[in-house]
Amino acid sequence: MADPLHHFIPLPDATVELRRAFGRFGTGVTIVTVQTTNGPLGMTANSFSSVSLDPPLVQWSPALSSKRHDAFTNAAQFAVHILGSGQRALADAFAVSGDAFDQFDWTIGPNGAPTLAGCLASVHCDTYGVHPAGDHSIVLGQVTHAAYDPDDSVAGLMYDQGRYGRFTPLTE
C-alpha cells in the first residue's frame, strides 16, 4: 500500500499544496509592534522564533506584499508580544489593521516600541539585521528587554492548519 505522506508534488507548481504542508507546523501567535512617525503600528505574525541566547536574538518574517512591510523592516526598534489562548481578538484585530491600538490597553515600552498589555510575554529588540528571503524579509532583533507572565496556567495561542487553538500537554 502506498504511503499518502510520500505522494510528492513537484514545486514550484504546487503553491497551494506547499502552503498546506507548511500549515501542518503549528506555531505560536505573536503581534509585532513598532513606533512610526504616524504613530504605533502592529502586525500579527506566526513566523517568530528565538535564534540565539548569546547574543540574545530573535527573528520574524513579514511578507513583501504587506502594506506594513517597509515600516517594520525600516524600524530601528520593535517589540514582539506572545499571545495567550484568550487573546484571539487581539490577533484578529492586528491581522486586519495595523492601527488597532485604540481597542486595547498599551503603553510605550522601554525601547520606544508600543507594548500591549496582558500578553504572555514580550521581547523588545533593536533591529540587528534585515535580509531578503523570497517573498518575505527576515528581520533579526537583538533583545534588549524581556518580560513574561509567571502564571504557568495560561496556555499560549496557537495557529495550526488555518485554525486557532491552544497547547495541550500530552499525559505521560
13-37 per-position pLDDT tens digit: 667 777 777 777 788 999 999 999 9
Buried b (16+ CB within 10 A) or exposed e, 112-121: ebbbbeebbb
**66-89 pLDDT per residue, tens:** 999 999 999 999 999 999 999 999
By CB neighbour count within 10 A (0-12 exposed, 13-18 middle, 19+ buried), where does 75 fall? buried
Residue 88 lies in a domain: yes
pLDDT of residue 143: 97
**133-164 pLDDT per residue, tens:** 999 999 999 999 999 999 888 899 999 888 88
User: The domain spanning residue 86 has which CATH number?
Assistant: 2.30.110.10
Residue 34 lies in a domain: no
| Grid coordinates of 1 | 500500500
pLDDT of residue 55: 96
More confident residue, 37 or 12: 37
Number of domains in the chain: 1
pLDDT of residue 20: 76
pLDDT reading at 1 higher than 60 = no
Distance CA 28, CA 44 (A): 11
- Give the pTM: 0.88
Closest CA to 125 of 138, 136, 112: 112
Residue 13 lies in a domain: no
**87-133 pLDDT per residue, tens:** 999 999 999 998 999 999 999 999 999 999 999 999 999 999 999 99
Please give the backbone phi and psi of residue 135, each rounded to the nearest 5 degrees, phi first.
-90, 15
More confident residue, 162 or 45: 45
Range of the domain at 141: 39-149
Residue 162 lies in a domain: no
Residue 12 lies in a domain: no
Beta-bridge mates of residue 51:
none
Distance CA 23, CA 128 (A): 28
Residue 156 lies in a domain: no
Neighbours of 61 (CB within 10 A): 18
More confident residue, 48 or 8: 48
